[in-house]
């Protein structure tokens, strides 16, 4: 804390990870800045931990370029502090907030600002923290909304159906295995050799080691295929689906023009086949956070935190998830 700040001023400042241009994680800086002030429908959260995902890496780098308009700036980022998933304690509430009070433990997701000691979040994107999770575990949990909506809503997954999860060991995939089991499905997980045992502990009925077996050779046996990596062609993905099967892509693995072409290809191809191909974009909301809370507190799903970083080392956390070899969730600890 700078000695030039008065005690009153100091109480209204915080440390945060700041960037003012797109680029590699090297553009990030650890700075002291003013705390945000909540609007009428917002909550000021004292962040205890923040989740880190490949999506955060995309937002920092600004790639693929097609995401820039949706994240707030074509030439440079509109929002200086990255980070979205987080957990912490309510510090203040806006005039319209009635569901939360100061001191409540919460978790959720905002559009930006979570890589900081304090963040403002719309009340509609927060939920009470699951009682059986630490703050670090809770910060990793909002990402589970993605496979929940991808499987339940886009994929229409029902109990008794057979689902293939490609990229099952990553931050999204490891949640997907557990959620699919919670929905009553039979789960086949695709991962590397080092993750086979962990997939079984998460509940996978069958595990395919992609280093020795090509899942395409299994033939058309799956009702739903959830792809989190984007490393196979659309024809490969269609080939393992039953005639009424659904392919859901929530992959961040492709980039630029290739990503856009893939999305267009899915929409066009779906018009000429009984198998449906659906690109997917998550829409975070409080009701689905509450669904996750129920599943977590019932012991049906749980986060698997692979790595923890202090706030000062947020760039290293982003490099790790950006490399594409995560084995679970990555979090930033504010008090480390």
pLDDT at position 100 is: 98
Q: How far is CA 251 from the centre of its chain?
A: 11
Same domain, 103 and 19: yes
What is the DSSP-derived secondary structure letter of residue 195?
A: G
pLDDT at position 327 is: 81
How many helices and strands in the chain, by DSSP H and E?
Answer: 11, 15
> Domain containing 77: what range?
7-141+303-333
3-state secondary structure of 70: helix
Same domain, 57 and 104: yes
Two tokens at 320? Answer: 């790790």
Same domain, 48 and 88: yes
pLDDT at position 170 is: 87
Same domain, 114 and 198: no
Q: 72 near 94, Cβ under 8 Å?
A: no
pLDDT at position 68 is: 76
Q: Count of CB atoms within 10 A of residue 320's CB? A: 19
In whole angstroms, give the CA distance from residue 178 to residue 323. 24
Q: What is the largest CA-CA distance in the chain?
A: 69
Contacts of 14 (CB under 8 A, 6+ apart): 32, 33, 34, 35, 116, 117, 118
| Average pLDDT of span 74-86 | 91
Please indicate, yes or no, if residue 285 is contained in any of the structural domains: no
Please indicate, yes or no, if residue 70 is contained in any of the structural domains: yes
In whole angstroms, give the CA distance from residue 308 to residue 311. 10
| Average pLDDT of span 302-323 | 95
Q: Report the residue count for the chain.
A: 336
Contacts of 93 (CB under 8 A, 6+ apart): 38, 42, 43, 44, 100, 101, 102, 123
- The chain-wide mean pLDDT, for the chain, equals 90
Nearest alpha-carbon partner for 77 in 61, 55, 56, 92: 61
Nearest alpha-carbon partner for 131 in 175, 87, 178, 172: 87
Q: What is the CATH number of the domain that holds 99?
A: 3.90.180.10
Same domain, 129 and 221: no
**Hey, which residues does 187 pair with through a beta bridge?**
163
End-to-end, the C-alpha distance of the chain in Å comes to 16
Please indicate, yes or no, if residue 325 is contained in any of the structural domains: yes
Work out whether strand 206-209 and strand 186-191 pair parallel, antiparallel, or are unpaired.
parallel
Work out whether strand 186-191 and strand 276-279 pair parallel, antiparallel, or are unpaired.
unpaired
Q: 164 near 294, Cβ under 8 Å?
A: no
pLDDT at position 266 is: 64
In whole angstroms, give the CA distance from residue 287 to residue 283. 11
Please indicate, yes or no, if residue 292 is contained in any of the structural domains: no
| pTM of the predicted structure, to 2 decimals | 0.89
**Hey, which residues does 90 pair with through a beta bridge?**
45
Work out whether strand 42-52 and strand 118-122 pair parallel, antiparallel, or are unpaired.
antiparallel
pLDDT in tens, 1-49: 344 444 546 778 999 999 999 999 999 999 999 999 999 999 999 999 9
pLDDT in tens, 82-135: 999 999 999 999 999 999 999 999 999 998 999 999 999 999 999 999 999 999
Please indicate, yes or no, if residue 295 is contained in any of the structural domains: no
Same domain, 315 and 265: no
3-state secondary structure of 149: helix
């Amino acid at each position: 804390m700078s000695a030039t700040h008065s005690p009153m001023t100091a109480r209204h400042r915080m440390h945060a990870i700041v960037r003012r241009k797109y680029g590699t994680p090297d553009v990030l800086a650890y700075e002291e800045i003013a705390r945000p002030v909540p609007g009428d429908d917002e909550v000021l959260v004292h962040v205890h931990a923040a989740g880190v995902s490949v999506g955060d890496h995309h937002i920092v780098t600004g790639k693929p370029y097609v995401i820039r308009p949706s994240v707030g700036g074509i030439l440079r980022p509109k929002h200086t502090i990255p980070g979205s998933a987080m957990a912490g304690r309510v510090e203040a509430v806006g005039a319209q907030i009635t569901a939360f009070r100061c001191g409540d433990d919460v978790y959720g997701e905002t559009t930006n600002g979570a890589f900081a000691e304090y963040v403002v979040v719309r009340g509609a994107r927060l939920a009470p923290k699951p009682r059986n999770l630490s703050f670090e575990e809770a910060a990793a949990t909002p990402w589970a909304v993605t496979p929940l909506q991808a499987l339940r809503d886009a994929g229409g997954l029902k109990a008794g159906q057979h689902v293939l999860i490609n990229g099952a060991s990553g931050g999204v995939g490891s949640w997907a295995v557990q959620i699919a089991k919670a929905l009553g499905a039979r789960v086949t997980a695709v991962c590397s050799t080092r993750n086979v045992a962990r997939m079984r502990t998460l509940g996978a009925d069958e595990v395919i080691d992609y280093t020795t077996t090509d899942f395409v050779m299994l033939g058309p046996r799956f009702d739903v295929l959830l792809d989190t990596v984007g490393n196979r062609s659309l024809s490969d993905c269609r080939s393992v689906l039953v005639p009424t099967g659904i392919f859901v892509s929530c992959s961040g693995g492709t980039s630029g023009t290739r990503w856009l072409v893939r999305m267009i290809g899915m929409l066009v191809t779906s018009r000429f086949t009984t198998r449906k191909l659906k690109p997917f974009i998550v829409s975070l909301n409080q009701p689905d956070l509450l669904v996750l809370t129920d599943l977590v507190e019932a012991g049906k799903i749980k986060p698997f935190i692979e790595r923890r970083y202090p706030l000062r080392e947020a760039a290293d956390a982003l490099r790790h998830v950006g490399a594409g070899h995560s084995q679970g969730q990555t979090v930033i600890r504010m008090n480390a």
